[in-house]
Structure 1
Amino acid sequence: MTLFGLLLMCALVLAVGAGRLGVSPLNVISIVLNELGIPGFEGSWTEKERTAVAMIRAPRALMAALAGAALAVSGAVLQALFRNPLVSPDVIGVSSAASFGGVLVIMIGGGGVALMSGSFAAGLVAALLVMLLGRIRTGSPVLTIVLGGIVVSAFFDALVSLVTYLADPYTTLPSITFWLMGSFASASWEKLALLTVPVALGLLFVFALRWRVNILSLGDEEASALGMRPGLMRGALIVAVSLLTASSVAVAGVIGWVGLVIPHMVRLLVGPDHRVLLPGAALLGAAYVLLMDTVARTVVQVEVPIGILTAVIGAPVFVAVLIKRTRGGRTLA
């Protein structure tokens, strides 16, 4: 955990200092401490550097970190609940459904709380549909869940396409298209406050029940034998995951692969105990999305949507993790 925490702190300093107007790590730290009202940190920075750090880059960096933590924890929890290492908010359709809720709100002219509410409601519907489809009796429950998620995801993707087709091409469509590709370009302190509340509530709820996630990952029979009501607990955790995913989608659009890749990477390093895995996923997920966002806005003059980068990098990373686990004689689970 200490290593993950240090990595996140270094990523934050790097992200806030990187850009066309470079700010040294020492000045970044001094500006932040000075803005927090801590005396003795009046450095030699310029007003442009202070504005870039305090007003533009700091809220964006914190938003990226919160979204990364939310997506990574969501993936780890879903993989435990469904006992399927290939499950993530993307695979079971939560991200697609949250996208549909978001674009629908954008189309009718809503934003802020309405955008987050629409994303959350649609994401929750998708998760519940996948749970219902998973109850279909087949020879392979895991395969049923995965196929159910593909169906739900395809359904909501079609609805997103329909809304996009009906949107005004001169006003609404550009906003929807840019939002769907994922970006923190519109970050502000107001949006950060809007994101912080639901993400904090969702993470606190999941962390408080992380030892129960260990029990649920054993199966319903074992959980019931230990005095737990698995259906009720699973439903509560899915609501929390939907809130985390929808919050991220509402402020940044779709950022794929984070909820699938990061839990596997953390599992390789700290093991399958969710009491350690979930905090580790939050820290590493935050650092990963933060670094991807830094690359997205600095690698070329025109900002690259972060959703493209996480997909391009996430796929080969996941293949590498899969090969490593297979060669080590372990399964994905």
Structure 2
Amino acid sequence: MENVAYALGRRLRRASHPTQLLLLALGVAVVALASLMLGRYHMGVGEVLGMLVGRVLPVTPGWTPQQETLFFNVRLPRVLLALMVGCSLSASGAAFQGVFQNPLVSPDFLGASQGAAFGACVALLLSLGSMGTSIAAFVTSMASVAIVLWLSGRAKGNRILVTVLSGVMVSSVFQAGVSYTKLVADPNAQLQAITFWLMGSLTSASPRDLAFVAIPMLVGNAGLLALRWQVNALTMGDDEALSMGVDAPRVRRAVIVCSTLVTAASVSVTGIIGWVGLVVPHLARGIVGVDYRHLLPASMLLGAGFLLVVDDVARLATTAEIPIGILTAFIGAPFFMRLITRGRRR
């Protein structure tokens, strides 16, 4: 199996960039169709395609009303949310790794995830409901990165180093806040909800969640795609970027805002899902290279497919659903170690 995957990977790497992106997009579409079919209640490909087409064109139903309700209220929102979150986290991680010139950077290193966690924990303590929790997580996530940018703007020294250190400090403060909310939470109700939220899950995905995150993700990802040439320049350093006519500080701030927007939107509805934004960009580099004109779209496609496959495993592997944040850590950490050791040998 590994030899087959290796052979397919070599062929994909040898293809032209447009062909690579097209093949990745087709692969994600196949995985999405398979995910719509899989579940406790199996649906055939004809039923899935018929229900999708039936929303646009008149089609004779070959499925039951119960299947249609399950499909549009549960399964389709979950698959779409997995695609959107995986795409957003991977794009954010790839962009951060470029503008900060650090391959170990992930979407949450500026405190976005910990800020969202604190807001969600407070909302769960106050019993604000699922939408209130998502809104609180989104607002505090954006606020945490705003604090980081404010601190880095007032500090002296290397701008990149100061921003990273500010992110570490703000993350620590919000992590302490999360620990305090767990300390004062009711162990029979609130503590369980907080613990489950922190592990990350797509269990409660709904059309309302899709509507909540659609605009931030669309704006943020479109901004990252528009800035991908400038990110290429930043990977060579601020001085080289300036010689190419790129205002490095302004582009870096724009990338941080766009990345934070998609990360905050993702974490606010799924909880903390790690490793996706760290591992997937490295996998994309192995396929399309380091040019961000191709790397960013490839990271988006790979991230969407990766998270969708992991979510399929999470909901189908055992009787009780496994939190997706646990699985991404189990899969991402060994893969990243293998990636590092292979690179060292080469």
Q: CA RMSD in A?
A: 2.4
- What is the match of residue 16 of structure 2? none
Q: Deviations over 1:274-306 (max 9, x none)?
A: 111111111110111111111111111111100
2:66 equivalent among 42, 48, 52: 48
- Runs of at least 4 residues of structure 1 off by over 6 A? 132-135, 144-148
Percent of residue pairs bearing the same amino acid type: 40
- Identify the range of structure 1 (113-122 vs 225-234) with the bigger mean alpha-carbon deviation: 113-122
Distance in 2 (alpha carbons) for counterparts of 1:222 and 1:216: 8
Deviation at 1:319, TM superposition (A): 1.3
**Residues 287 and 103 (structure 1), Cα distance of their counterparts in 2 relative to 1, 3 Å cut:** same
SS in 2 for 1:300: coil
Aligned partner of 2:29 in structure 1 is 9
CA contact (8 A) 1:256 1:307 kept: yes
Counterpart check, 1:95 vs 2:117: no
Counterparts of 2:193 and 2:117, CA distance in 1 = 13
CA contact (8 A) 1:32 1:54 kept: no
Check if 1:19 corresponds to 2:32: no
SS of match in other structure, 1:168: coil
Whole-angstrom CA distance in 1 between matches of 2:199 and 2:165: 25
2:51 is aligned with 1:31: yes
Q: Distance in 2 between matches of 1:318 and 1:135?
A: 34
Give matches, 1:255-266, under 5 Å.
255-266=273-284
Structure 1 residue identity aligned to 2:141: S
Is the CA contact (8 Å cut-off) linking 1:134 and 1:148 kept in structure 2?
A: no
Change (3 A) 1:145 1:232: closer
Alignment of 1:201-280 (within 5 A): 201-280=219-298
Q: Specify the SS of the correspondent of 1:259.
A: helix
Paired with 1:270 and 1:132, the residues of 2 have a C-alpha distance of 35
1:189 and 2:211 aligned: no
Say whether residues 1:296 and 2:314 are aligned partners. yes
Deviations 1:73-98 (A, max 9, x none): 01001000110001112444332232
Residue identity matched to 1:218: M
Whichever residue aligns with residue 3 of structure 1, its letter is L
Task: State the Cα distance separating 1:14 from its structure 2 match.
Answer: 1.6
* TM-score, normalising length: structure 2: 0.85
AA matched with 1:11:
V
SS at match of 1:111: helix
Gaps of 5+ in 2: 1-20
Is structure 2 residue 137 aligned with structure 1 residue 119?
Answer: no
CA distance, structure 2, for counterparts of residue 133 and residue 94 of structure 1:
20
* Pair 1:134–1:67, CA change in 2 (3 A): farther
Shift of 1:146: 6.4
Q: How many angstroms does 1:147 deviate by?
A: 6.5
Measured in 1, the distance between the counterparts of 2:291 and 2:228 equals: 9
Residue aligning to 2:12? none
2:220 partner letter: G
- Give the length in aligned residue pairs: 322
Q: Deviations over 1:115-148 (max 9, x none)?
A: 322222224434665x56996569xx77x87676
Q: 2:93 maps to which residue?
A: 75
CA contact (8 A) 1:90 1:96 kept: yes
Counterpart code for 1:229 = D
What SS does the aligned partner of 1:125 have? helix
Question: 1:25-49, CA deviations, whole angstroms, 9 ceiling, x for partnerless residues?
Answer: 2321221111x2223x435323332
Whether contact under 8 Å (2:87, 2:303) holds in the other structure is yes
Moved more, 263-272 or 44-53: 44-53
Specify every segment of 5 or more residues in structure 1 that has no aligned partner in the other structure, as ranges.
329-333
- In 2, are the aligned partners of 1:183 and 1:305 still within 8 Å (CA)? yes
Which one-letter code corresponds to 1:294 in the other structure?
D
Q: Distance in 1 between matches of 2:167 and 2:190?
A: 29
Whether the 8 Å CA contact 1:94–1:126 is kept in 2: the answer is: no
Question: 1:160 is matched by which residue type in structure 2?
Answer: V
CA contact under 8 A between 1:93 and 1:127: conserved in structure 2?
Answer: no
Q: Is the 8 A contact 2:110 2:145 kept in 1?
A: no
The question of whether the paired residues in 1 share the 8 Å contact of 2:137 and 2:264 is answered with: no
Contact map agreement 2:119 2:133 (CA 8 A) in 1 = no
- Residue 336 of structure 2 corresponds to residue 314 of structure 1: no
CA drift at 1:152:
4.3
- Distance of 2:86 and 2:268 partners within structure 1: 13
Give CA deviations for 1:298-330 in whole Å, capped at 9, x if unaligned: 1111111000000010001111222232333xx
Residue in structure 2 matched with residue 331 of structure 1 by the alignment: none
Q: What TM-score do the two structures reach when normalised by structure 1?
A: 0.89
1:159 aligned partner, one-letter code: G
Residue 124 to residue 314, structure 1, CA distance change in 2 (3 Å): farther
